[in-house]
Chains A and B, each alone.
Chain A
């Protein structure tokens, strides 16, 4: 049971994540992708008169089962068998986060930033609401996320997926260097 509490090194987690590609293909010729479920939930809950949301979302409901599983996996790995120790971050990152005012580095999220109280502050609103909006808008506009483009698309040697993955990283690097420090200082 100890391995369930301990964090997994990259050479264990990475290959398991990669194996979801053949698992889904062999089960039903399904292509790994997660951001499409956001479109499906929108189509199921509030299609309004938006043509992009009027399609047979039930036909692809397999991936709603996939994401329900991801939620359960997160519960098992992050709640039932949560790592009791702080994440083994590089000393440079620990130093950076401390300099940005984040003291408590336990768990998977900085609870000082992500909680119900900060949600009504400018900082929390930008991090959660604006950040979440950009995740949803951007992945749909790019037609895929880190799973669909970054793993499945790259595994299928699709050059547009490489372009998408590079864009994901360029966007992330730009914001974590040049914008996030100002948001955290709010």
Chain B
């Protein structure tokens, strides 16, 4: 299965999210109240490590294992970024979870977060339904 290697990345990613307590509801409240450096430390090391790796990959014009030339993602501006971002932030404060941690929280044995997850699916579905009417 050619996709299994992505599962391996997911396992390490999920383990780091969990052991780093980035999926902790308490840590998220602590972060939003600026009471510890912990979560900011995670972001402030993860982003430069990602940026430096991407820079090296592009500088050396490396190819992926399946021979594609690696390109950086382009994330264009659109009008949903600020309202969508704020709405997600509201939900982040309530649930203590972003989409990645939603999966990790279920895995960590907090089975009731399946409800949060299903509700996130409902939110995605409603967005999809309303998309033609929303400014984008």
Residues of A within 8 A of B (CB): 4, 6-32, 34-35, 37-39, 41-42, 45-46, 48, 50-53, 61-63, 65-79, 82-83, 87, 89-90, 92-93, 96-97, 105, 107-110, 113-116, 119, 126-161, 163-177, 179-180, 183
Beyond contacts A65-B4, A73-B104, A78-B109: 10 other A-B pairs, Cβ-Cβ < 8 A, are A25-B53, A66-B6, A77-B108, A82-B109, A108-B24, A113-B25, A141-B88, A168-B85, A171-B90, A175-B32
Contact yes or no, A42 B125, CB < 8 A: yes
**B94 contacts which chain A residues (CB < 8 A)?**
126-128, 130-131, 134, 175, 180, 183
Shortest A32–chain B CB gap in Å is 8
Q: Tally A-B pairs: CB < 8 A.
A: 522
Min distance, Cβ A144 to any Cβ of chain B, angstroms? 7
Identify whether the interface residues of A are mostly helix, strand, loop, or mixed: helix
Which of B's residues lie within 8 Å of A, judged by CB?
3-33, 35-51, 53-54, 56-57, 62, 64-66, 68-78, 80-100, 102-110, 112-113, 115-129, 131-132, 134
Contacts of A92 in B (CB 8 A): 33, 35
Contact B99 A35 (CB under 8 A): yes
Is the contact region of chain B dominated by helix, strand, or loop, or is it mixed?
A: helix
B32 to chain A minimum Cβ distance, whole angstroms, is: 4
Q: Which residue of B lies closest to A8 (CB)?
A: B19
Determine which residue in A42, A126, A157 has the highest number of CB atoms from chain B within 10 A of its CB, and name it: A42
Please give, as numbers and ranges, the residues of chain A lying within 8 Å of B7 by CB-CB distance.
65-66, 68-69, 72
- Which single residue of chain B is at the shortest CB-CB distance from A42? B125
A172 and B89 contact, CB distance less than 8 A = yes
Which residue from chain A places its CB closest to the CB of B48 in the assembled complex?
A18
Taking A25-B54, A69-B6, A163-B77 as contacts, is the C-beta distance between A87 and B14 under 8 angstroms? no
Bound complex: CA of A138 vs CA of B33, how far in Å? 21
Contact residues in B for A25 (Cβ distance below 8 Å): 53-54, 57, 64, 70
Given A13-B19, A66-B6, A137-B123, are A74 and B104 also a contact pair (CB < 8 Å)?
yes
> Does the CB pair B45–A69 fall under 8 Å?
no
